[in-house]
Amino acid sequence: MLHKGKLLIFLGSAVVALYGISAAFYGRVVATDQAYPALSVFMDALNKVSGDYVEAPDMTKVQEGAMRGLIDALDPYSCFLTRQQAQELEESRQKATAGIGVVLSKRGDVLYVVSVSEDGPAARAGIRPGDYVIGVDEVGTEDKSILECDAMLRGAPESTVKLSVFRGLRSQPVEIAITRTADTPPTARTEMLQGRVGLLDVSSLRPDGVEQARVRLKTLIAADAQGLILDLRDCADGAAEDGAELARFFLRSGVIYSSRDRDGKLVHEAAASAERFITDLPLVVLTNASTAGAAEIAAGALKDQGRAKLVGEKTFGSGSAQKKIMLKSGAMLILSTARFYTPSGKMIQEDNIRSTGIKPDILCPDSDRRQEFLIESYFDEKEESIKYNELRTRIAAEQLEKALEVLRTLSRSAQRAA
């Protein structure tokens, strides 16, 4: 009886703590008629656990599980870490200097590969955008946050990590071993195409990525480019401000993006700067389903401001601001506190997968053309990985050709206007 009494007191305290934390999350006390029914259900469930569970529960695990479930139900980028997990994460960040070159998110609560660095360890091993990672070194990822999974993938240079991956219609996961490599600074690639068209390929907006893009852009202009293609396909990392800074190179004035809280209140607004502006040459932006985060900030601003035409596929849809909150116990919350909007008011990250992301002005390839590609690939007798790479190459080439076509039209219009 004494044990049961202590258990009930602890459970009651946990409910009060959870209730108070919920109020803090939303910046106000949630003592409303809507909150009480949910609290009642939670209390009832805890009472059943204390009275009917087959053995005495480990209340530390119960409390941590409740907290994790509470946060995991919000969105892919919010998470709860115990004191030990937070410490281990910080130690891992300091010691682990090598990764595999992927950007992760979640879809349907399953770890999802948004983007894979070209020629990076993951790409060389066969990891693809759209893969679902269900295990890392035989540890399941279903109850892990993105932060934890990122840490699991990192380690010492030349060490090996094994991923269990589901893809396509396979009934069994694929086991893929990857050798980690030391992190390298991001680089931007340039090429002068036929017709004096400058191609600026920005594959990363990590620290120094924007500065690389600025230098490369000025190089293209110095080489007398008459039009520009900004390739943001497979660019999925970097902070929102990095995306805004990239957009500033092409915009003289106007809003680039805004962030708003749950009540729609403006939290932050980023604007163009005449001092950061570089060029007003005709511009086309290439996007695909692996264009995410900071790259979506830039693409959305350039589209909404009428500065560029977007060609390719709908972007991934990752656009929210997170805040780190340390609790008295030493545990840590990572909580999404605002979402990003393009200048026209389009929310980049939405819960509905059909609505999330930024749609291109010109879808390429369209659904019919993509179906043709898939049918041709299906009947190709080559090895599956070869077919996949060839399909991606064909789609990328068609998108670039469409971008050149659109850019020629923009250039003719600009000449007539002049």
Considering the domain architecture, whether residues 142 and 259 belong to the same structural domain is answered as no
Considering the domain architecture, whether residues 205 and 337 belong to the same structural domain is answered as yes
Considering the domain architecture, whether residues 218 and 241 belong to the same structural domain is answered as yes
Residue 19 confidence (pLDDT) above 50: no
Cα separations in angstroms, 363 against 78, 205, 311 = 32, 24, 6
Cα separations in angstroms, 312 against 130, 196, 286, 315, 399 = 17, 22, 6, 9, 6
What pLDDT, on the 0 to 100 scale, is given for residue 33?
54
Task: Report pLDDT digits (tens) over 38-78.
Answer: 677 767 777 777 777 788 777 677 777 777 888 888 899 99
Interatomic CA distance for residues 166 and 114, integer angstroms: 14
Considering the domain architecture, whether residues 107 and 199 belong to the same structural domain is answered as no
**Confidence category of residue 3, pLDDT binned at 50, 70, 90:** very low
Task: Report pLDDT digits (tens) over 220-231.
Answer: 999 999 999 999
Tell me what the pLDDT averaged over the chain comes to.
87
Considering the domain architecture, whether residues 356 and 228 belong to the same structural domain is answered as yes
Task: Report pLDDT digits (tens) over 109-164.
Answer: 899 999 999 989 999 999 999 999 999 999 999 889 999 999 999 999 999 999 99
Considering the domain architecture, whether residues 17 and 34 belong to the same structural domain is answered as yes
Cα separations in angstroms, 395 against 184, 381, 402 = 28, 19, 11
Interatomic CA distance for residues 409 and 88, integer angstroms: 54
**Confidence category of residue 9, pLDDT binned at 50, 70, 90:** very low
Q: Which residues contact 84 (CB under 8 A, 6 or more apart)?
A: none
Tokens matching residue 66: 């409740």
What pLDDT, on the 0 to 100 scale, is given for residue 222?
97
What pLDDT, on the 0 to 100 scale, is given for residue 34?
57
Considering the domain architecture, whether residues 266 and 165 belong to the same structural domain is answered as no
Considering the domain architecture, whether residues 215 and 358 belong to the same structural domain is answered as yes
What pLDDT, on the 0 to 100 scale, is given for residue 38?
63
Residue 260 lies in a domain: yes
Q: 362-363 and 309-312 as β-strands: parallel, antiparallel, unpaired?
A: parallel
Residue 388 lies in a domain: no
> Of 137, 156, 182, at which residue does a domain stop?
182
Considering the domain architecture, whether residues 334 and 353 belong to the same structural domain is answered as yes
User: What's the predicted TM-score (pTM) here?
Assistant: 0.87
Per DSSP, helices labelled H in 133-224 are: 146-153, 209-222
Eight-class DSSP state of 355? T
Considering the domain architecture, whether residues 172 and 200 belong to the same structural domain is answered as no
- Which residue range is the domain that position 157 belongs to? 83-182
Considering the domain architecture, whether residues 246 and 311 belong to the same structural domain is answered as yes
Residue 174 lies in a domain: yes
Q: How many domains does the chain have?
A: 3
What pLDDT, on the 0 to 100 scale, is given for residue 27?
39
- Judge contact between 248 and 274, C-beta under 8 A: no
Task: Report pLDDT digits (tens) over 265-312.
Answer: 999 999 999 999 999 999 999 999 999 999 999 999 999 999 999 999
